[in-house]
Structure 1
Amino acid sequence: MLRIAVQSKGRLYDETMLLLEEAGIKLNRGKRILLLSAKGFPVELLFLRDDDIPQSVANGVADIGIVGENEYVEKGGEARLVRRLGFSKCRLSLAIPKNEEYKGVEWFEGKTIATSYPEVLRAYLKQNGVNAALHVISGSVEIAPGIGLADAIFDIVSSGSTLVSNRLKEVEVVLPCEALLIANNHLTEEKQAILNELLFRFEAIQLAEGKKYVLLNAPKERLHEIIELLPGMRSPTITPLVDEGWISVQSVIAEKHFWEIIGKLKALGAEGILVLPIEKMIV
């Protein structure tokens, strides 16, 4: 049995549970409890505060964990980083009052900065040769300048709306963050095998993200030009049609280039273009 530490609430919790569901891990849901087992796959979930996850994985209370990069970096790297998961993206940033003029990081010299991430901030200030006082608080960091506790803040920023509502502006991005999969350094062979299967499922989900499956009919004489637009995973699938001189083409394209590619395909004579979502992709 592999024990996974996950955040007990918030956006990271929601996206983690969605990932596990897409990976075929069905949970024995009932009354909300600290430890929850799964059906059909040998894992159990341990629900913790986000800042408790890195240490819980490092000391073996949990075997692996899904945690924000901000907490992993702040709490130290005693647990090993296994995979970047690509969701719950945000950033650790410095912000100052909106009406302050900012010309560079030297603005923070001699100032007081409120934060819940003192280790990350100390390293950044040292790297930039800035001497500032740190006021360490947990929660509601953004109100500190407004009530006179600090001159600036260092905190998690997602949309930036919280900064705006507190008349602050983001001036330095110190650490881009996302969800990470971390693991204890001393997993047994059995637990490592379960983790490997879990990673295989996660990879299949991640590979499918932002991609579409395309089927179309096209003139055979334009095949070379069409292949240049639709390389596929290795190469597109080509099937001759009953109508002589026509072929069917099947391939995978990135969603961000979808409309650009579809327009070019139509210009090359492609017809009957069918676009399908991809749930999983295994290579």
Structure 2
Amino acid sequence: MKAAGLKAIDTVMESTAVLVKSRNTKNELVELIASRIRGVITAQRYVLCQYNIPREKLATASSITPGKRAPTVTALEDDGWVAVSSMVEKKSIATVMDQLTEVGATDILVLTIANSRTA
């Protein structure tokens, strides 16, 4: 709309989606569909934050980006440094990046998540 020079002037309708199953539907199929929907909803709320940090500052940085379960930590070729990947809520990513910079993180990247599966 923006690209065409248009703007919203009023809401015509708001709706809610509901997943309905019949008694004859297999529960596995319903769970598969629900899992896919949850994955898309999660992907819309989170981004993937990746950064490098000295290993001695990892605990502090991990407290800033704990992820949904835990951050992924990978050793770098540069001794004493690690790379960290963690899911962060979109709404707080600017503050998180500021905090990471303050504790010594470098090469901070924020990537869009297209879909997700979590337990």
Q: Same fold per TM (> 0.5)?
A: yes
For residues 23 and 97 of structure 2, the distance between their equivalents in structure 1, rounded to whole angstroms, comes to: 47
2:20: which partner in 1?
183
1:243: which partner in 2?
78
Aligned in 2, Cα 1:249/1:195: closer, same or farther, shift over 3 Å? same
Question: Which protein has the larger Cα radius of gyration, Structure 1 or Structure 2?
Answer: 1
**TM-aligned CA deviation for residue 182 of structure 1:** 4.3
For residues 53 and 47 of structure 2, the distance between their equivalents in structure 1, rounded to whole angstroms, comes to: 18
Structure 1 residues 90-105: aligned runs within 5 Å: none
1:204: which partner in 2?
39
- Structure with greater proportional strand content: 1
**TM-aligned CA deviation for residue 196 of structure 1:** 2.5
For residues 10 and 17 of structure 2, the distance between their equivalents in structure 1, rounded to whole angstroms, comes to: 25
Structure 1 residues 79-98: aligned runs within 5 Å: none
Structure 2 counterpart SS, 1:209: helix
Q: Which amino acid aligns with 2:114?
A: E
* 1:208-232 CA-partner distances (Å, limit 9, x unpaired): 1121111111111211110110111
2:50: which partner in 1?
215
1:23: which partner in 2?
none
TM-score, normalised to structure 1's length? 0.36
**TM-aligned CA deviation for residue 235 of structure 1:** 0.6
**TM-aligned CA deviation for residue 160 of structure 1:** 8.1
Structure 1 counterpart SS, 2:18: strand
For residues 189 and 210 of structure 1, the distance between their equivalents in structure 2, rounded to whole angstroms, comes to: 30
Aligned in 2, Cα 1:193/1:221: closer, same or farther, shift over 3 Å? closer
* 1:100-135 CA-partner distances (Å, limit 9, x unpaired): xxxxxxxxxxxxxxxxxxxxxxxxxxxxxxxxxxxx
Structure 1 counterpart SS, 2:30: helix
Aligned in 2, Cα 1:225/1:178: closer, same or farther, shift over 3 Å? farther
Q: Say how many residue pairs are matched.
A: 109
**TM-aligned CA deviation for residue 195 of structure 1:** 2.6
Aligned in 2, Cα 1:178/1:227: closer, same or farther, shift over 3 Å? farther
Task: Provide structure 1 residue ranges, at least 5 long, that are not aligned to the other structure.
Answer: 1-158, 163-176
- Identical counterparts, % of pairs: 26
Greater than 6 Å deviation, 4+ residue runs: none
